[in-house]
Amino acid sequence: MKHALSARRVLSVAGLAALALVPALALAPRARAQEGHEQGEEHEQETPLHQEMEGMKDALKDLANQLRAPGNEEQELQDLLVMERHVLAAKVLEPANMDDVPADQRPAHLTDFRRDMAKLLGLLSQLELAVLDGHPDDAKNLIAGPLLDLRDKAHDKFQKEED
């Protein structure tokens, strides 16, 4: 009898615990979405790569603005650091159109994607040196020429058709 009671007690405790979890689980997706908004995340439906790219775009835009006037070197370096971090996160991911490429060409496609990511990181280092050396015009030319060129060509190769 004693055993039966304690077993029932255990069961009811487990039942209560399970019940307590239900609202938590039901709320979880909403809480996650909320968290995303609180962090200024507007692309929660997008792929992880897309999110890194959006972060890169925002930092690049700010960098270009900062370069319009002298004396903003600290912020320029900060923007470059943000971009570099996004590239580090993006380079271990896969291109968006991987599934559209025939299976036997996928390894080469991934290598090409990684090569362009490595080039991007190299360009960001060059930009960093231009800022550190006090050559804002070199930085602007690197953005207007090689950086945007690399971006556009990479997007042609690696974005999904409907993107």
- The CA distance from 143 to 128, in Å, is 12
Q: Which of residues 53-72 bind ligand HEM (CB under 6 A)?
A: 53-54, 56-57, 60
Segment interacting with ligand HEM (CB under 6 A) among 3-11, 33-41, 128-136, 151-159: 151-159
Residue matched to tokens 């006090």: 134
Identity of the residue, 72 or 127, whose beta carbon is nearer to ligand HEM in the bound complex? 127
Contacting residue, 116, 131, 136, 142, with ligand HEM by CB under 6 A:
116
Closest CB to ligand HEM belongs to which residue? Answer: 53
Contacting residue, 113, 127, 131, 139, with ligand HEM by CB under 6 A:
113
Conformational region of residue 2, where left means phi above 0, alpha means psi within -120 to 50, and beta covers everything else: alpha
Decide if residue 47 touches ligand HEM (CB under 6 A).
yes
Identity of the residue, 76 or 116, whose beta carbon is nearer to ligand HEM in the bound complex? 116
Contact 51, 41 (CB under 8 A): yes
Decide if residue 147 touches ligand HEM (CB under 6 A).
yes
CA separation, residue 27 to residues 18, 19, 23, 32 (Å): 15, 13, 6, 9
Interface residues with ligand HEM (CB under 6 A) are 47, 49-50, 53-54, 56-57, 60, 95-96, 113, 116-117, 120, 147, 150-151, 154-155, 158-159, 163
